[in-house]
Amino acid sequence: MLLPHLETLNILSTPVWVVSAHSQHILFANTAARKLAGNSLLGPLRNGQFSVHSQLSLESYLPNLAKDDQIVEIWTIHKEGRAFPLSCRLSSFQMDTNETVIVFEGAHTSAANVPMPIPGDTPYRRDESGFYERLFQTNTAPMLLIDPANNGQIVDANQAATRFYGYTRDEMCTKHTWEINAMGLDVLPVMHEISRLPGGHKPLTFVHKLADGNLRHVQTYAGPVELNGVRLMLCIIHDITEQKRLEQELEHAALRDPLTGLGNRRQFMQLVENARTQNPQRTHNFSLMLVDADHFKAINDEHGHNTGDDALVMLARTLETGIRESDTVFRWGGEEFLILLPLTPLEGAMHVAEDLREAVQQLSRPGLPALTVSVGVAQYEAGEDFTSLFKRVDDALYRAKTSGRNQVQAG
């Protein structure tokens, strides 16, 4: 599908966003979407006050979407000075450019009046001998019955839930969802939005509080159920804390250089992309610095690779201690290090670079060879993409190397 063909989505009254699964950029928003959320970037929509999703990376949804699984996310919409949740259904397709995109179709809702459930006249009563009660209590997964029309009152909890949360059944039934959810009262509009869904969708991820104060990452499936004429939500909880911990450890390892412990190229690209989509003002008026250890091949050849590794670690620590608190240093590859200097014009970046060059030149460690570095510096220019910015930094470094090394050049 070509972008002009997406214009046909403007005839829909429901908001639609077309998003790149890889870059997580909004490629197109129809008229209804722009009217609802303006030109908002994806970051504030997916990570706002009421936002809930099951996967941080959009690409993680693709296998399930290929099987036509029902997936929803709750977004945060800001309009006319107030925020409210919007449920979105996800689908995917491949554009003519072979880029896979995800379509977010929002439920038609009014920013001025988010409907709230109307309390029923008949309260829920347990049927201790009924089939549902036996099924509910013998299930090994924690399960809660919630009344969305009564501010998320928990009206029942099975034995697995009481063991998981650490409350008795009666204690659980004195609580509301916002008392066990780390979102607090902000979960109420989210709950009301979820209660309007027909069910059958993949679970969403929350953080729940236990009786002892511990926090647990959980995936919750919430679907409508009617018992004795009372419309409730059945919430099934799966503890994914250990899974989250392993994911975070793997992600941390994938973003770090194993030798120096610095962030790697992938972490830098992720940081820049997150800043561009979630905090655009931080992507202006910054500078980049590319630092290269001079004659490093000779160090490896003469002293061996173990000594070369020790020299790189020493250089990394020197750069870390020499930069400002707001700056970040990454190992770019080999003997090259990239330094990000937020809110820093070229003149300020040149001063930092010169200080670092002098600090490296003065290094003296027993058993390690003397080091010097060449440095290229460039300031971001409005409208510039990263490729052209990095080329200017790299060209400046090349001039520093070819002009005698152990110096700083601006690009």
Q: Residue 139: its pLDDT value, please?
A: 86
Helix (H, G, I), strand (E, B) or coil at 259: coil
CA–CA distance, 85 with 262 (Å, rounded to integer) = 38
- Domains of the chain, CATH where assigned: 3-106 (3.30.450.20), 131-241 (3.30.450.20), 255-410 (3.30.70.270)
Over the chain, what is the mean pLDDT?
88
Just list the catalytic residues: 335
| Amino acid at position 99, single letter | E
Choice among 110-114, 158-162, 247-251, 298-302 with the minimum mean pLDDT: 110-114
What pLDDT is attached to residue 247?
85
Lowest mean pLDDT segment, chosen from 70-84, 133-147, 332-346: 133-147
C-beta of residue 311 within 8 angstroms of C-beta of residue 403: no
Sheet holding 143-147, edge to edge: 153-157, 143-147, 230-239, 215-227, 204-209
* Global confidence as pTM: 0.67
pLDDT per position as a tens digit, 28-72: 999 999 999 998 889 899 999 999 999 888 999 999 999 999 999
Region 235-250 average pLDDT: 91
- Among 37-46, 120-129, 173-182, 279-288, name the most confident range: 173-182
C-alpha 79/C-alpha 85 separation (Å) is 11
Say how far apart CA 404 and CA 411 lie, in whole Å. 17
User: How many H helices and E strands in the chain?
Assistant: 15, 15
% pLDDT > 70, the chain: 90
Q: What angle do CA 145, 149, 154 make, to 5 degrees?
A: 30
Asked if residues 160 and 239 have their Cβ atoms less than 8 Å apart, the reply is: no
Q: What is the pLDDT of residue 4?
A: 61
Per-residue pLDDT tens for 327-358? 999 999 999 999 999 989 999 999 999 999 99
> How does pLDDT run across 149-192, given as a tens digit for each residue?
888 999 999 999 999 999 999 999 999 999 999 999 999 999 88
Average pLDDT in the 89-118 region?
A: 73
Q: Residue 141: which pLDDT band, with cuts at 50, 70 and 90?
A: very high
pLDDT band at 110 (very low <50, low <70, confident <90, very high): very low
pLDDT at 274: 67
Q: Please report where in the chains the tokens 């039934």 appear, as a residue.
A: 173
**Which tens digits make up the pLDDT trace of 203-239?**
899 999 999 999 999 999 988 888 877 888 899 999 9
252-275 pLDDT, tens digit each? 888 899 999 999 998 998 887 766
Helix residue ranges per DSSP H, 325-385: 346-361
Q: State the pLDDT at residue 111.
A: 43
Specify the residue for token string 């220019």. Answer: 381
CB half-sphere exposure, 186, CA atoms < 13 A:
15
Q: Predicted confidence band at 407 (pLDDT cuts at 50, 70, 90)? A: very high
Residue 113's pLDDT is what?
Answer: 43
Measure the CA–CA gap between 102 and 158, rounded to whole angstroms. 37
Q: Which amino acid is at 318?
A: T
Of residues 34 and 280, more confidently modeled: 34
Which residues are bridge partners to 379 per DSSP?
287
pLDDT of residue 177: 94
Residue 28 φ/ψ, nearest 5 degrees:
-160, 140
Check pLDDT > 90 for residue 278: no
Higher pLDDT, 297 or 227: 297
